[in-house]
Structure 1
Amino acid sequence: MSILTKVAIWPLLTGVLLAGCANQSIQTTPDLNKIKPVTHTLKQQVTIKRLSDLLSDPAFNQIDRAEIYFQRGVLYDAIGLSHLAYFDWLYALELKPDLADAYNMIGIYYLRQQEFSRSYESFDSVIELDSSHQFAYFNRAIALYYGGRAKLAEMDFESFYQFDQTDGFRVLWWYFAKQSYDPQAAKKQLATQTKALDTNSWSAQIVRYIQGELSEAELLNQAEQYAAEGTQSINQNLCEAYFYIGKKLKLKGQKQAAKTYFKAVLSTQVYEFIEYRYAQLELEMLTVDVDKS
């Protein structure tokens, strides 16, 4: 998902997409043959090397070095080296304690580790430093949602939604929070908010899928079409499509099928998208649920 700034690789799964209408049963095996080999990391690695060289240059002051550490951390995160990224963001905060973006990324790191209290604190720090930092509200809402505090999460999802009511991803995440404790109200809210969406956007197609207007085969075809138009790469679109198919399967109680799609998300290697980040968290939570059952 392109909402946020820009290693284990799951083995490719096999399957065949089935055509059909939205009211047919959901297919439970993704076709990963559409995923393209990842070839973009060389440029990022070269940039990391250059930033590392700058850190040893005495011409840069403390504030400059904080920014360099932060940017290098973003690049580490974008190629799947989240732990190295975390250390760079910590270094950045040591040099510049009011660097809101560093707190935001550290909060995401803690969330992925299911260290929810530390995650909340990090996002609180972002908002204290910059109350207009819209993604801090979004990320804190996600932390509250995964931390089992969906009602509290709704306040932050609403704040994030108010920044852009045409974005389907903002609508979807708010829907997931409300659906966890009031499915009927969530469905009604989603139907209302859909009217304001940009109907030609990729995110609107995912909303249509969640509402049952598209089958997952149709959604995956849309992923290819939108990639061909250049809005995002096919891997980015598939990362998002697989994730939300997994979410819908999970809501329908099809946990094993949902796990298959969340694993498929990881196969896209779009490390910086929130769907990639939280697919692993979804898998961990589903594994716990399956073990309990």
Structure 2
Amino acid sequence: MNYLTNTSRLFSNYFKIGLLFSLVWINSGCATHSTTHTAVPLLELIEPASDTTAQQIAVKRLSDLIEDPEFAPDQQAELYLQRGLTYDMLGLMHLAYFDFLYAIELKPDLAEAYNMLGVYYLRQTEYSRSYESFDAVIELDSQHEFAYLNRAIALYYGDRAKLAEKDFESFYRFNPQDAFRVIWWYFAKSSYDPAAAIEQLNRQITQLPDDSWGTQIALYVKGQLTAEQLLEQAVMYSQKNENSAQNINQSINQNLCEAYFYIAKQLAAQGKKMQAADYFNAALKTAVFEFVEYRYAHLELQRLSR
């Protein structure tokens, strides 16, 4: 689920590459668990993109434009933001972080830069700074729906699920037919009131479109599909909705990233920590850097090691 920013969605089809950072996290995550691992299905289908030519050219062009004295400070800020988003899509989150800082220095009211800074702080578990960043986004743009999601996720991982609910509800109301909004709100509520969470999930699922990949995940979370069935659906929906081998491979990576993550969430909720860790690591192996599921698989592994 690529929900971090409106702008980043425009780049998602072009910047999904590399395994460097994911392998570091995978190794560190595995080290905290038993050496006996779950045989995660369909790993052989994962083919992360390896050609970085387009991304390197984009970074070079943006860098040249940033140095052009013809651009006013607010225009340079936008260029820093775009280069930061490009770095972020490449998994180079620390380089992206500096560009977002530069963007805000040049244009202090640039909401999207605050949004991405908040994501960075959240991934670093600097929860207070992430809350402040998302607060700034919403103050600047009350209709920035992904800031509500990101602040809600920060509150959720910061063990403030009840506070997160209001933001999850706000995010849900922007588009009640989006299954991922239903699922994340369910996670928050289920952490302190499982019965109410199931009741809400059952009610909201009826508003989702029948023939969508996100709905299949919601049905899995509800218990109507098995993990094996969900993974079969991940491949089926990729083959159904794409018309070229390259696009199918990319879609499979994305769908498997999501499927592995939510299977892991359910396993973790059942107390099956070792199996959950294996599935979270499988989500990382897809190297879909811009997806929420990839980003927060790291935090989930940290939570499992507590």
TM > 0.5 fold call: yes
Question: Do the aligned partners of residues 40 and 185 (structure 1) sit closer, same or farther apart at CA in structure 2, a change above 3 Å counting?
Answer: farther
1:238 aligns with 2:256: yes
| Partner of residue 196 from structure 2, selected from 185, 188, 199 | 185
| Partner of residue 30 from structure 1, selected from 40, 48, 59 | 40
Aligned residue pair count: 274
Q: TM-score, normalised by structure 2?
A: 0.87
Structure 1 residue 68, shift from structure 2 partner: 0.5
State how far apart, in whole Å, the 1-side matches of 2:238 and 2:149 are: 26
After TM superposition, list the pairs within 5 Å mapping 1:156-235 onto structure 2.
156-230=167-241, 233-235=251-253
Structure 1 residue runs of 5 or longer lacking an equivalent are 14-26, 289-293
* Partner residue, 1:8: 21
Q: What secondary structure, in the 3-state scheme, does the structure 1 residue paired with 2:305 have? A: helix
| Partner of residue 125 from structure 2, selected from 114, 123, 138 | 114
RMSD: 1.5
* Partner residue, 2:70: 59
Structure 1 residue 28, shift from structure 2 partner: 4.2
Structure 1 residue 141, shift from structure 2 partner: 0.4
State how far apart, in whole Å, the 2-side matches of 1:85 and 1:198 are: 36
Percent identity, aligned pairs only, is: 59
* Partner residue, 1:20: none
After TM superposition, list the pairs within 5 Å mapping 1:96-135 onto structure 2.
96-135=107-146
State how far apart, in whole Å, the 2-side matches of 1:233 and 1:40 are: 17
* Partner residue, 1:88: 99
State how far apart, in whole Å, the 1-side matches of 2:237 and 2:63 are: 36
**Contact conserved, 2:40 with 2:278, CA < 8 A, in 1?**
yes
Deviations 1:105-149 (A, max 9, x none): 000000001100000000000000000111111100000000000
1:139 aligns with 2:153: no
AA aligned to 2:205 is T
State how far apart, in whole Å, the 2-side matches of 1:37 and 1:54 are: 30
**Contact conserved, 2:48 with 2:287, CA < 8 A, in 1?**
no
1:262 aligns with 2:275: no
Deviations 1:18-62 (A, max 9, x none): xxxxxxxxx943131010132353212210111011111111111
Q: Which runs of at least 4 in structure 1 moved beyond 3 Å after TM superposition?
A: none
State how far apart, in whole Å, the 1-side matches of 2:23 and 2:163 are: 34
- The range that moved more, 49-58 or 82-91, is 49-58
Deviations 1:238-293 (A, max 9, x none): 110110000010111101100001111110000010100000110111112xxxxx
Q: What secondary structure, in the 3-state scheme, does the structure 1 residue paired with 2:21 have? A: coil
Q: What secondary structure, in the 3-state scheme, does the structure 1 residue paired with 2:260 have? A: helix
Q: What secondary structure, in the 3-state scheme, does the structure 2 residue paired with 1:229 have? A: helix
AA aligned to 1:111 is L
